[in-house]
Amino acid sequence: MSEPPRRIEITEPVTITVDGREVTAQNGEWLIDACERNDAYIPRFCYHPRMEPVGMCRMCLVEVDTGRGPALQPSCMLPVTPGMSVDTTNDKVAKAQDGVLEFLLSNHPLDCPVCDKGGECPLQDQTMAYGPGESRFVEEKRHYEKPIPISETVFLDRERCILCDRCTRFASDVAGDPLIHFIDRGSQTEIATFPDEPFASYFSGNTVQICPVGALTAKPYRFRARPWDLEEVESTCTSCSVGCRVTIQSSRNQLVRYQGVDSDPVNWSWLCDKGRFGHEASNSEDRLREPMRRSEDGALRVAQWSDALGAAAAAIRSVDPSRVAVLGGARLTNESQYAWTKLAKSVIGTDHVDAQLGDGLPAEVVLGLPGASIDDVCAKGGTVLYLGPDPKEELPVLYLRLRHAAVSDSVRIVECSPMRSGLSPYAAASLQYAPGELPALVAALCSGDVPDGGVAGVDADTVRSAAALLDGIDDLSVVVGRANLAETAGVVVDAIDAVRSARPGARYLSALRRGNVRGALEAGMSPGLLPGRTTIATGSATWTEAWGAVPTAAGLDGLGILDAAAEGRLDVLILLGADPLTDAADRSLARRAIAGAGTVISLDSLPSASTLQSDIVLPVAAFGECDGTTTNLEGRVTVLHQKVTPPGTARTDWMIAAELALRLGGDLGVESSQVELWDELVKHSAPHDGLSSAALAAQEDPDGLLLPLDATIELAATTPTNVPPRSADSLRLVVNRTLYDSGSAISHCASSAALVPEASVRLSPADAAAMGLETGTFVTVASSHGSVSVPAVVDPGVPGGAAVVRHNLESVDAGVLVDAADPVCDVRVELR
């Protein structure tokens, strides 16, 4: 797959001559890019527009005259200078290209007929275009064992490798995981991992995409299709909220591969492995194909759609609307979210609607803070206050952007986190605070007023030097999110308040994880909220006119819904792709809620603990199986495309909403396609002005359209969360997420399921020493709520007084420790 040149804005034009034509280029840009942009494509293997050039393959040699006479030079490493004259096609250049290819092919096995890359291989293509017809190399070629696995998902064929340094440069310069390297440099150079230390990078799949030959192949795609059999459409990955642009490729109505597309404001062509290999979950044998109903004997049995929908409608119709709640929906398309909001808030008449399970940030905060785009946060020379979760684990490509900003664009990141994260090595300052005490730390950082005893468990000098980085920075970018699920959102809101009062000019990026959570909030999937960043107070008139009826009072939020269900105050609980039984931070609350809710209706594409407990299960179309739009964490709206048909009789979420509305005597006003829903939202929503389906379809680039960054919801004053002091004999719990958890997207993905880590409790070396335990010691972690047994891991990245467990790992159910009603969770760690 060839990478298009980066679009650039020419700020310093110079005139150069390319193949006899005078053209304009940007002073100092690489010659190879300038030529390509001016219709003189120069062949290359090692050059990648998103990485620093190394001049490794010599394929891009062209004849350049800078006034000292013509000479062959590698155009990937030559900056454009005024008056430069380039010849990209003359005999000398052709001979050089021919020679380079003959060398590259001398040890290449030419096993194209059995190579996955065949048909889309730069080496194959360029040999055809520029190479020698035959080789003079008659000796025996090099042989290696092939292919060898270098990770769970990536295979390496060293015979095919042309040593272009792309994968190794990606690993060290882009991902920061230099786990593959050239070894035995010289005539025996090869790519290798350290023995028994696999290329376990969250970004390993990118190396397969950028490999210019078939040396690196990914297990999920190996021998699945030939490039000329693939059909493809462009779409946006919804595995997390970064919204990376992807090409979805299918063969015979089955998704076989996702490739990153270079979207300049978002993913720069990179993807994380969870997103890249997510099609394995879509293709899973376990996919829900037919509706199911719980029968008299208590078992879930396949049912007709009409039966299942009829039962769902009957259950909803038979109860008071205030006893119906809709939970989840953060992974739906914008259109489905809008349809479900309209169904719940207008047709059913309940405001108990929340796309988040109490593990996000309040909608008013996300929509009420002045926004910052990813580009704003990563802008050269800026300063970022990072208060979000570990981006490497939750929003991997945002981590790549932040890492690049810190390493290459001199962005200073001040990170406050409950333990060291993937971002910490690149942060100008990384402070590990005691859980619950973030607001005090942030206030001290913004004011520079630091008590001598330190603050939030961080010593005074560290806080002061970090505060110095923020001193006088008025246009601060702040990334906010939930770094600790055992801490209430109120603590983060208090920290945001501290920044707002000290830095009124600050702008915010909400680092919420679920695919389209931002779209859900924009569509009004939150209590008290209506679409288009309006509340019941401000938007009633507009939306009553559009819908006929809207709720008159704010309903329950995610935690409130779970509480109400647990207490028997809900008769119908609709789960839109939500799985509270494995995903809610407070596990026992979720259990009581599912047990206590009258009828549980679950819409999902894969079976989960919650669907198995539901009374009615409706199968829905997954990613790549439906059209629509999605909104990423910045508020960027991009178009999703369907590539394959959903399995069985699975339907798109909005279709189910429309059908239910009809059965409930309402009408969502959608006749045939989701476009009608989107255009209805755009028509009535001020922030969506200019984002009509026609405007989105007219976009030439893959970048989509950004919703206005300026807030339109008024932030309500909040009461500070009261965090009790920690007693000396307990530790304060941190629950954070890992990329590969036991959620259904991973557990049904063959190549990723093996990467789910073992559960553990991480303790600081000091606490571990005081308790006399070391890594591997089994301990009991007990809160007032529950207890679990896990092996301890001594981790210098954990601050004293904290105990860190990963959220949602099947081996240990850490969710039983947390009580959502408490602001923080204290635990005792004891030797078993």
Partner 1 sequence: MARLTPENVELAHRIIARYPRPKSATIPLCHLAQEQDGWLTDEAMVHVAELVGCTPAEVLGTASFYEMFKRHETGRYCLNVCTNISCQLLGGEELLEHAEQVLGVRPGGTTSDGMFTLEDVECIAACTEAPAVQVNYRYFHRLGPDDLDQLITDLRSGALDDVVPHHGTLGRVHQDLDGDRIANITPPEAQTEPVWIRRHRELAESNDGGAS
Binding site for partner 1 (CB under 8 A): 172, 177-186, 192-197
Using DSSP, state whether 390 is helix, strand or coil: coil
Q: What is the DSSP string of 5-18?
A: PPP---SSEEEEEE
User: What is d(CA 245, CA 235) in angstroms, rounded to the nearest whole number?
Assistant: 6
Selection from 398, 647, 345 nearest residue 511 by Cα: 398
Query: What would the two tokens of residue 12 be?
Result: 């310093």
Cis peptide before 396 (omega within 30 of 0): no
User: What is d(CA 612, CA 63) in angstroms, rounded to the nearest whole number?
Assistant: 67
Q: How far is the CB of 168 from partner 1 (least distance, A)?
A: 8
Q: What burial class does residue 463 get, using C-beta atoms within 10 Å of its C-beta: 0-12 exposed, 13-18 middle, 19+ buried? A: buried
Instruction: Yes or no: say if 661 and 346 are a contact pair by the CB < 8 Å rule.
Output: no
User: What is d(CA 18, CA 40) in angstroms, rounded to the nearest whole number?
Assistant: 8
Report the C-alpha dihedral over residues 344, 348, 351, 353, rounded to 10 degrees: -30
User: What is d(CA 723, CA 589) in angstroms, rounded to the nearest whole number?
Assistant: 21
Q: How far is the CB of 222 from partner 1 (least distance, A)?
A: 23
Q: What is the DSSP string of 776-816?
A: T-EEEEE-SS-EEEEEEEE-TTSPTTEEEEESSBTTB-GGG
CB atoms within 10 A of CB 579: 25
150 versus 208: smaller Cβ distance to partner 1: 150
184 versus 320: smaller Cβ distance to partner 1: 184
112 versus 192: smaller Cβ distance to partner 1: 192
DSSP 248: E
Q: How far is the CB of 172 from partner 1 (least distance, A)?
A: 8
185 versus 832: smaller Cβ distance to partner 1: 185
Instruction: Yes or no: say if 230 and 250 are a contact pair by the CB < 8 Å rule.
Output: yes
Q: What is the DSSP string of 655-684?
A: HHHHHHHHHTT-----SS-HHHHHHHHHHH
Q: How far is the CB of 404 from partner 1 (least distance, A)?
A: 19
User: What is d(CA 174, CA 401) in angstroms, rounded to the nearest whole number?
Assistant: 9
33 versus 165: smaller Cβ distance to partner 1: 165
User: What is d(CA 15, CA 83) in angstroms, rounded to the nearest whole number?
Assistant: 6
164 versus 237: smaller Cβ distance to partner 1: 164
Instruction: Yes or no: say if 327 and 299 are a contact pair by the CB < 8 Å rule.
Output: no
- Cα dihedral 756, 757, 758, 763 sign: negative
185 versus 222: smaller Cβ distance to partner 1: 185
193 versus 605: smaller Cβ distance to partner 1: 193
137 versus 194: smaller Cβ distance to partner 1: 194
Q: How far is the CB of 197 from partner 1 (least distance, A)?
A: 6
The label of the residue with tokens 């005539």 reads: 187
Q: How far is the CB of 179 from partner 1 (least distance, A)?
A: 5
Q: Which residues pair with 792 in a beta bridge?
A: 761
134 versus 196: smaller Cβ distance to partner 1: 196
64 versus 180: smaller Cβ distance to partner 1: 180
Q: How far is the CB of 198 from partner 1 (least distance, A)?
A: 10
Q: How far is the CB of 792 from partner 1 (least distance, A)?
A: 20
Q: How far is the CB of 195 from partner 1 (least distance, A)?
A: 6
User: What is d(CA 571, CA 589) in angstroms, rounded to the nearest whole number?
Assistant: 17
137 versus 182: smaller Cβ distance to partner 1: 182
Q: How far is the CB of 461 from partner 1 (least distance, A)?
A: 22
Q: How far is the CB of 746 from partner 1 (least distance, A)?
A: 25
User: What is d(CA 118, CA 268) in angstroms, rounded to the nearest whole number?
Assistant: 25
Instruction: Yes or no: say if 417 and 804 are a contact pair by the CB < 8 Å rule.
Output: no
47 versus 199: smaller Cβ distance to partner 1: 199
425 versus 720: smaller Cβ distance to partner 1: 425
Q: How far is the CB of 150 from partner 1 (least distance, A)?
A: 10
Query: What would the two tokens of residue 161 be?
Result: 């490798």
67 versus 195: smaller Cβ distance to partner 1: 195
User: What is d(CA 175, CA 203) in angstroms, rounded to the nearest whole number?
Assistant: 7
Q: How far is the CB of 163 from partner 1 (least distance, A)?
A: 13
Q: How far is the CB of 186 from partner 1 (least distance, A)?
A: 7
User: What is d(CA 428, CA 568) in angstroms, rounded to the nearest whole number?
Assistant: 50
Instruction: Yes or no: say if 672 and 281 are a contact pair by the CB < 8 Å rule.
Output: no
Q: How far is the CB of 183 from partner 1 (least distance, A)?
A: 4
User: What is d(CA 122, CA 124) in angstroms, rounded to the nearest whole number?
Assistant: 5
What CA–CA distances, in Å, run from 817 to 501, 735, 773, 807, 808? 34, 10, 21, 11, 12
